[in-house]
C-alpha cells in the first residue's frame, strides 16, 4: 500500500510550466515541423537545380534583411523580461516591455511586407520553382509574425486591469511563442538568403 | 465521518459538473466523455460510408467487364474510400473516440487538458467530413487515389475541382487531428494521478502518447504537401512542375514522410487496446511491460525513417533503396517484441476467450500475416514487381483492417459495459467475431494471389481472359460476409444497450482506473482523485480502499469548481490545480466560420476567405473573453 495521498506536495515537484505553456509548446512543435518541411523543400529543389536562383533571377540582398532580422532577434530580450516581470507581478514593467517588443516586431513586419511586395514587382511565384518556394516560405513566416503581433496586442488589452493567473500563463506562452517564431524566422531568412552566401 | 456526508459530497460534485441538458448541451459540451461519444457515432457514420464505397467497388469487380459504375466514379470511390477509412474512421475512432473517452479515465483525470479545444477539434472533424462528401455527391470527389500523386493530380490531368476537395479536406481534417493529439499529449504528461510516474502508466496511454506524437510530427509534412499542391493548381506555382524547376517526386517524399508513420499512428492505438484487453481476460499482468512500452514508442519513431520504401519503383538511387530497406527491417524488432509479449501473456495467463479477447487473437493473427508480407517488400526486386498490384492492397488491408480495426471492435465490446452500464450478449458477440474472421480472410487473402498474377490496383474492370475472375468473386463474397459480420456486431451492441443486464462498475475485474468508478462514469469521473502505485491500479486493492477513506475524510475532492489537479511531468506528483471550462458555444461557432473559409477557398475567393479569417480571430476573442476562476 502506498503512503502518498493526493494532497501530498513533493517539494521537488515545482510547477515550472503551466498547462497553457505546454499547449503552446505543442503548437510550436507542430509549426516548427511545418517550417522544417518547407525549408527541406527549399533545399530539395535547390540541389536538383543546376543554377540557383535560376538565370535572370537576382540573388537576394543581404544587408537590409540581416539588419532587420537582428532587430527582431533582440525582441526576444524584452519578451523574456516581460515574462519574468509578469511572474513577479510587476505590471507596469510588463506592459512597457511588451509595448517595446511589439513596436519593434510590428516594424519588422512592416519592413518585411514592404520588401515582399517590392520583390513581387520583380518576379512572381508563378515564374519558377525557386520563386514558388521563396515566396511561400517568406509568406508563411510573415503570417507567424503577424499572429505574434496580434497576440501581443490582445495580451496588452487583457493587461489593462492587471494580472490574473490566466493572463500570466498567457504571457509566458506568448513569450515562448515569440522565441520559437524568432528561431524559425532566423532559419527562414538564412535559407532564403543562402544563394547570396555562395 | 458519516455516510450522509459522503453522499452530500458526491451530490455536490454532481450538481457542479452536471452538463446542460438537451441538444444545446451536446452542441456546447466540453466533457471528454460526451465528445468521445460524439466522435464514436460520427466516425461510425463515416465507417458506414466507407463500407458502402468498398462494397460498391467489390460488386463492380465481382466479374470481368462489369459496368455497374464507370471509371470516373470508380476513381472517386476508391479515393474517398481510402481517405474516409484513414482520416475519418480509424484516426478519429482511436484518438477521438477511444482516446477522448478513456485516456482521462485511465490517468485519473476529470477531463482532457484543453476541453474547449477538444470540442473545436470534434466540430472541425465533422465539418471536414461533410466537406469531403459534398465534393463526392456533387461529382467532384477526389479521384487521384488517397496518396494523390502528381502529375495525375495536377491541373493539367485533373482540371475539375476534385483535387481541391482533397487538399482542403485533408488540411481541414489535419487541424482536427493535430488538436486532438496536442490535447492527449498534454493530458498524459500533465494530468496523471498522484503516483502515476511513467513506469506506472498504463500501456494504453503509452500507445496513445506514441500515436499522438506521431500525428503531431507527421501531419505538418502532409499539410505542407497539400498547400503546395493547392498553390500549384490555384495560384500557378511550380512546386511539382519539372519544366519550371519543380519535382514530381517532391510530392511523394513529403507525402510518405507523413504516410508511413501514419500506418503506425493507425495501428499503435490498437496495440494499446490489446494491452488492456489481454490482462483483463487472462487476469495476469502483461509480460515485458517496459519493453512493450518502449516498443510502442519506438515503432512510431522508426516509422519516420522509412518513408522511401514506398518509392522503390520511382527510380531513386540504389544506395537510397538499400538504406530504406534496412531501416524498414528495423521496424520488425519492436513489432515482434509486442507480438511475443501479447502471445506469451495469453499463453501463460488464464485466458477466457470472450469476445474482446477473440478479437485480439484475431488481430495478432492478421498482424503477423500482414507483417510477413510487409517484410517481403524489403526485397527490392520483389517490391518493384508487386508495386501497384493487388498484393499491396492485400498487405495493407491485413494491417489496417486486421491489425487496426479488429482491436477497435474488441475494444467496443470490452468497454461497452463501462460506457453504457450494460453487459453485451456474449454468443452473438462471438458469432460476429467468427463471421468477421472468415469474411476478412476471404476478402483479403485472395488479393495476394491475384496481385501476384499481375492484377493492378485502381482498375475499374478487367478482361475475362486474365484468370482473375474466380479470385475476385471470392473476394466480393468475403466482402459481403464482412459486411454481415459488422452488422451482427452493431446489432448485438444496440440490442444489448436496451436489453443487456446491468454491468456494475467492474464486470471483467479490469486492471486500470476506469474500472474503479461506476458505469457509466459520473461527469466528474472520480469523486476522489485516485492514488496510484502500479500500472494496474484497479488491482491494487489497498489503494482503492484508501480512496474510499479519503472520500470519507474529504481529502482530494477538489470540489470548489470544475477543478483538476495538475501533476509533475515525470513522477506525477501534484503541482497545482487547474480550473476546467464549462460548456462553451465558441468551439462550434469557430468551426462553422472555419468551414465557410475552406468552402470559399474551393472556388478561389481569396478575399472572402481573408475576411472570414478575421471573423475567425474575432470568435477566438469571444472564446477568451471569460477567464477561469482563481484559486
The 10s digit of each residue's pLDDT in A65-78 is 999 999 999 999 99
Q: Is A23 in Cβ contact with B113 (below 8 Å)?
A: yes
Q: Is B254 in Cβ contact with A130 (below 8 Å)?
A: no
pLDDT of residue B485: 98
Q: What is the DSSP string of B525-562?
A: S-SSPPP-SSS-GGG-HHHHHHHHHHHHHT-S---SSS
Q: What is the mean pLDDT of chain A?
A: 91
Please determine, for residue A3, whether its predicted confidence score (pLDDT) is greater than 70: no
Q: CA B247, B249, B253, B258: dihedral to nearest 10 degrees? A: 100
Angstroms from B546 CA to nearest CA on chain A: 9
For B484-504, what is the HEC assignment? HHHHHHHHHHHHHHHHCCECC
Cβ-based neighbours of B430, under 8 Å, separated by 6 or more: B354, B355, B358
Tell me how many degrees the CA angle B122-B230-B591 measures, rounded to the nearest 5: 20
Minimum Cα–Cα distance from B174: chain A residue: A30
Angstroms from A139 CA to nearest CA on chain B: 12
Return the residue matching grid coordinates 497545482: B576
Q: CB count, 10 Å around CB of B544?
A: 16
Do residues A136 and B246 lie in contact, with contact meaning Cβ atoms separated by under 8 Å?
no
Mean pLDDT for the stretch of residues B116-126: 96
Do residues B179 and B120 lie in contact, with contact meaning Cβ atoms separated by under 8 Å?
yes
Residue in B331, B350, B481, B494 with CA at minimum distance from that of residue B416: B494
Q: Is B573 in Cβ contact with A1 (below 8 Å)?
A: no
Contact of A46 with chain B, judged by CB distance below 8 Å, is answered with no
Q: Which of B238, B247, B571 sits opposite A48 (nearest CB)?
A: B247
Instruction: Please state, in angstroms and rounded to a whole number, the distance separating the CA atoms of residues B281 and B511.
Output: 10
Give the cell for residue B478.
468475403
Please determine, for residue B246, whether its predicted confidence score (pLDDT) is greater than 90: yes
Q: Between residues 93 and 122 of chain A, which touch chain B (CB distance below 8 Å)?
A: none
Angstroms from B81 CA to nearest CA on chain A: 27
Minimum Cα–Cα distance from B248: chain A residue: A45
Q: Is A2 in Cβ contact with B543 (below 8 Å)?
A: yes
Q: What is the DSSP string of B172-191?
A: HHHHHHHHHHHHHHHHHHH-
Contact of A137 with chain B, judged by CB distance below 8 Å, is answered with no
Give the pLDDT band of residue A10 (cuts 50, 70, 90). low
β-pairing, B574-579 vs B563-567, is antiparallel
Q: How far is CA A153 from the centre of its chain?
A: 15
- Stronger pLDDT, B605 or B279, i.e. the higher one: B279
Q: Is B531 in Cβ contact with A6 (below 8 Å)?
A: yes
pLDDT of residue B439: 98
Minimum Cα–Cα distance from B215: chain A residue: A30
pLDDT of residue B274: 97
Please determine, for residue A5, whether its predicted confidence score (pLDDT) is greater than 60: no
Q: Which residues from B are below 8 Å from A4, CB to CB?
A: 194-195, 531, 533
pLDDT of residue A4: 37
Do residues A23 and B179 lie in contact, with contact meaning Cβ atoms separated by under 8 Å?
no
Mean pLDDT for the stretch of residues A83-98: 95
B19-28, B92-101, B416-425, B609-618: least confident range:
B19-28
Q: Which residues from B are below 8 Å from A6, CB to CB?
A: 193-194, 528-531, 550, 555-556, 565, 574
Rounded alpha-carbon distances, angstroms, from residue A20 to A89, B182, B381: 18, 11, 51
Do residues B160 and B154 lie in contact, with contact meaning Cβ atoms separated by under 8 Å?
no
Residue in B264, B390, B400 with CA at minimum distance from that of residue B332: B264
Q: Which residues from A are below 8 Å from B533, CB to CB?
A: 1-2, 4
Tally C-beta pairs within 8 A across A and B: 169
Q: Is A1 exposed, middle or buried (0-12, 13-18, 19+ CB in 10 A)?
A: exposed
Q: Which of A7, A41, A165 sits opposite B224 (nearest CB)?
A: A41
Q: What is the DSSP string of B563-622?
A: EEEEE-TTT--EEEEEEPP---SHHHHHHHHHHHHHHHHHTT-HHHHHHHHHHHHHHHHH
Residue in B52, B65, B40 with CA at minimum distance from that of residue B480: B52
Contact of A161 with chain B, judged by CB distance below 8 Å, is answered with no
Q: Is B186 in Cβ contact with A126 (below 8 Å)?
A: no
Q: Which residues from B are below 8 Å from A26, CB to CB?
A: 181-182, 185-186, 216
Q: Which residues from A are below 8 Å from B235, CB to CB?
A: 125-126
Q: Which of B185, B227, B531 sits opposite A26 (nearest CB)?
A: B185
Mean pLDDT for the stretch of residues B176-202: 94
Give the pLDDT band of residue B568 (cuts 50, 70, 90). confident
Q: Is A165 in Cβ contact with B574 (below 8 Å)?
A: no
Please determine, for residue A1, whether its predicted confidence score (pLDDT) is greater than 80: no
- For the question of whether the overall pTM of this predicted structure is more than 0.90, the answer is yes
Contact of A2 with chain B, judged by CB distance below 8 Å, is answered with yes
Instruction: Please state, in angstroms and rounded to a whole number, the distance separating the CA atoms of residues B211 and B448.
Output: 29
Cβ-based neighbours of A108, under 8 Å, separated by 6 or more: A68, A69, A71, A72, A75, A145
Q: Is B624 in Cβ contact with A128 (below 8 Å)?
A: no
Please determine, for residue A178, whether its predicted confidence score (pLDDT) is greater than 70: yes
Give the mutation candidate from A26, A44, A151, A188 for the B interface (greatest B CB count, under 10 A). A26
Per cent of chain B over pLDDT 90 is 86
Mean pLDDT for the stretch of residues B490-517: 96
ipTM entry: 0.93
Q: Is B617 in Cβ contact with A4 (below 8 Å)?
A: no
Amino acid at each position: 500500500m502506498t503512503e502518498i495521498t493526493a494532497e501530498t506536495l513533493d517539494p521537488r515537484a515545482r510547477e515550472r510550466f503551466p498547462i497553457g505553456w505546454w499547449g503552446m509548446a505543442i503548437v510550436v512543435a507542430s509549426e516548427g515541423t511545418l517550417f522544417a518541411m518547407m525549408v527541406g523543400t527549399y533545399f530539395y529543389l535547390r540541389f536538383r537545380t543546376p543554377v540557383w536562383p535560376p538565370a535572370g533571377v537576382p540573388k537576394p540582398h543581404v544587408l537590409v534583411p540581416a539588419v532587420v532580422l537582428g532587430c527582431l532577434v533582440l525582441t526576444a530580450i524584452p519578451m523574456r523580461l516581460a515574462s519574468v516581470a509578469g511572474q513577479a507581478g510587476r505590471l507596469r514593467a510588463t506592459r512597457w516591455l511588451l509595448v517595446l517588443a511589439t513596436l519593434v516586431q510590428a516594424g519588422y513586419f512592416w519592413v518585411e511586407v514592404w520588401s515582399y511586395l517590392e520583390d513581387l514587382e520583380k518576379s512572381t511565384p508563378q515564374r519558377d520553382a525557386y520563386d514558388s518556394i521563396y515566396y511561400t516560405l517568406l509568406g508563411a513566416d510573415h503570417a507567424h509574425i503577424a499572429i505574434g503581433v496580434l497576440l501581443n496586442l490582445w495580451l496588452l488589452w487583457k493587461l489593462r486591469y492587471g494580472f490574473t493567473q490566466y493572463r500570466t500563463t498567457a504571457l509566458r506562452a506568448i513569450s515562448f511563442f515569440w522565441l520559437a517564431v524568432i528561431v524559425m524566422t532566423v532559419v527562414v531568412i538564412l535559407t532564403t538568403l543562402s544563394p547570396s552566401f555562395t | 465521518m458519516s455516510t450522509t456526508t459522503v453522499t452530500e459530497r458526491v451530490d455536490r460534485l454532481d450538481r457542479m459538473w452536471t452538463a446542460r441538458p438537451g441538444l444545446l448541451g451536446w452542441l456546447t459540451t466540453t466533457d471528454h466523455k460526451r465528445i468521445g461519444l460524439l466522435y464514436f457515432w460520427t466516425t461510425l457514420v463515416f465507417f458506414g460510408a466507407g463500407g458502402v464505397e468498398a462494397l460498391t467497388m467489390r460488386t463492380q469487380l465481382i466479374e470481368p467487364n462489369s459496368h455497374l459504375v464507370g471509371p470516373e466514379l470508380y476513381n472517386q470511390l476508391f479515393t474517398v474510400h481510402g481517405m474516409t477509412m484513414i482520416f475519418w474512421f480509424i484516426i478519429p475512432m482511436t484518438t477521438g473516440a477511444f482516446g477522448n473517452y478513456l485516456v482521462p479515465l485511465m490517468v485519473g483525470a476529470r477531463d482532457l487538458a484543453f476541453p474547449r479545444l477538444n470540442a473545436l477539434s470534434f466540430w472541425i472533424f465533422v465539418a471536414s467530413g461533410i466537406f469531403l462528401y459534398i465534393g463526392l455527391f456533387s461529382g467532384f470527389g477526389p479521384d487521384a487515389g488517397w496518396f494523390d500523386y502528381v502529375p495525375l493530380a495536377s491541373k493539367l490531368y485533373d482540371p475539375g475541382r476534385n483535387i481541391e476537395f482533397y487538399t482542403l479536406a485533408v488540411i481541414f481534417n489535419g487541424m482536427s487531428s493535430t488538436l486532438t493529439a496536442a490535447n492527449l499529449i498534454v493530458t498524459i504528461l500533465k494530468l496523471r494521478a498522484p503516483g502515476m510516474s511513467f513506469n506506472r502508466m498504463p500501456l494504453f496511454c503509452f500507445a496513445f502518447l506514441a500515436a499522438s506524437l506521431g500525428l503531431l510530427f507527421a501531419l505538418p509534412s502532409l499539410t505542407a504537401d497539400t498547400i503546395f499542391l493547392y498553390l500549384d493548381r490555384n495560384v500557378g506555382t511550380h512546386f511539382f512542375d519539372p519544366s519550371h524547376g519543380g519535382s514530381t517526386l517532391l510530392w511523394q517524399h513529403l507525402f510518405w514522410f507523413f504516410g508511413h508513420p501514419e500506418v503506425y499512428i493507425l495501428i499503435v492505438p490498437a496495440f494499446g487496446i490489446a494491452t488492456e484487453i489481454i490482462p483483463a481476460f487472462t487476469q495476469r499482468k502483461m509480460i515485458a511491460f517496459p519493453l512493450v512500452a518502449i516498443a510502442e514508442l519506438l515503432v512510431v519513431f522508426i516509422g519516420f525513417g522509412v518513408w522511401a520504401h514506398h518509392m522503390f519503383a520511382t527510380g531513386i538511387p540504389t544506395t537510397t533503396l538499400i538504406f530504406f530497406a534496412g531501416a524498414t527491417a528495423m521496424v520488425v524488432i519492436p513489432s515482434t517484441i509486442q507480438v511475443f509479449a501479447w502471445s506469451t501473456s495469453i499463453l501463460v495467463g488464464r485466458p477466457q476467450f470472450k469476445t474482446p479477447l477473440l478479437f485480439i487473437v484475431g488481430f495478432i493473427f492478421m498482424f503477423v500475416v500482414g507483417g510477413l508480407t510487409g517484410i517481403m517488400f524489403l526485397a527490392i526486386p520483389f517490391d518493384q514487381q508487386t508495386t501497384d498490384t493487388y498484393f499491396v492492397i492485400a498487405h495493407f488491408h491485413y494491417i489496417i483492417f486486421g491489425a487496426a480495426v479488429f482491436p477497435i471492435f474488441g475494444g467496443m465490446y470490452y468497454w461497452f459495459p463501462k460506457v453504457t452500464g450494460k453487459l453485451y450478449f456474449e454468443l452473438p458477440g462471438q458469432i460476429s467475431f467468427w463471421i468477421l474472421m472468415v469474411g476478412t480472410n476471404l476478402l483479403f487473402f485472395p488479393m495476394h494471389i491475384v496481385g501476384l498474377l499481375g492484377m493492378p490496383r485502381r482498375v475499374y474492370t478487367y478482361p475475362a481472359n486474365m484468370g482473375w475472375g474466380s479470385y475476385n468473386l471470392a473476394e466480393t463474397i468475403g466482402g459481403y460476409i464482412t459486411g454481415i459480420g459488422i452488422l451482427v456486431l452493431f446489432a448485438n451492441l444496440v440490442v444489448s444497450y436496451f436489453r443487456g443486464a446491468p454491468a456494475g462498475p467492474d464486470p471483467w475485474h479490469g486492471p486500470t482506473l476506469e474500472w474503479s468508478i461506476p458505469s457509466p462514469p459520473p461527469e466528474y469521473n472520480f469523486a476522489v482523485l485516485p492514488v496510484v502505485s502500479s500500472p494496474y491500479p484497479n488491482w491494487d486493492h489497498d489503494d482503492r480502499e484508501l480512496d474510499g477513506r479519503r472520500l470519507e475524510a474529504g481529502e482530494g475532492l477538489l470540489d470548489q469548481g470544475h477543478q483538476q489537479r495538475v501533476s509533475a511531468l515525470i513522477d506525477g506528483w501534484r503541482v497545482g490545480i487547474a480550473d476546467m471550462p464549462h460548456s462553451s458555444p465558441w468551439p462550434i461557432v469557430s468551426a462553422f466560420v472555419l468551414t465557410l473559409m475552406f468552402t470559399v477557398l474551393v472556388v478561389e475567393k481569396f478575399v472572402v476567405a481573408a475576411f472570414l479569417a478575421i471573423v475567425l480571430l474575432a470568435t477566438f476573442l469571444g472564446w477568451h473573453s471569460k477567464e477561469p476562476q482563481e484559486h
